Amino acid sequence: MKSFTNPPQLVRLVMQAVCVLLGAPPTWVEALRILADIRFLERLRSFDRDHVDPSLIERVQLYVNHPDFSMENMKRASLASTTLCQWVLAIVRYFEVIKHVAPTQKKLEQTEYNFRVIDEVVQNERRKLIDLELQINELRAQHAQNLQEEDALQRSHDSRVKWKSTVSEFADVLSKWRDIVRDNALHPRGSLGHLWEWEVVR
């Protein structure tokens, strides 16, 4: 193609489309300059098809819609023209697909974002629920411990009450014995009678 000084119509047509997509003037002089660039093939491979200016697609459609712009016709011109025609058509078709898919893709991305937000809220609430359950379990354990301590205190209290009652009874008995002993010392005969009576009463 670079050897053409006056290229065939099909070659000129496809190179004009390539120039437009690459942002260059659609002239044969510019086409030769692009073809001479050692990075030409790399420019085609790395072409950012996801961010094509719609105005470029609109301009390149003028060439793509030409009756002669087809793979079958380009095969009659040259293999290089066929390959470049395929590249141009692929870019245009990809743009058309993206144009129709973009709204759906945007909705999908928004839905995924909403899902992530909701999922994060759910996870936070779940963590709060787990923390609350742990606190409830701690309170239950503390309550059970308090009941055990209260029961132990009650048993201790009952034991002290019983012990005090026993001590009180013993003190009464001891006091009576002291009275008897004292009476016996003062009235030996009478005290024995009291002792007998006290023993009988017991």
For the stretch 87-102, pLDDT in tens is 999 999 999 998 888 7
Per-residue pLDDT of 33-65, as tens digits, reads: 999 999 999 999 999 998 999 999 999 999 999
Q: What is the mean pLDDT of the chain?
A: 85
Q: Which domains does the chain have, with CATH numbers?
A: 9-100 (1.20.920.60)
Tokens 């009952």 found at? 158
Cα distance from N-terminal residue to C-terminal residue, the chain: 140
Identify how many contiguous H helices and E strands the chain contains and give both numbers: 7, 0
Query: pLDDT band for position 1 (50/70/90)?
Result: low
Model-wide pTM > 0.75? no
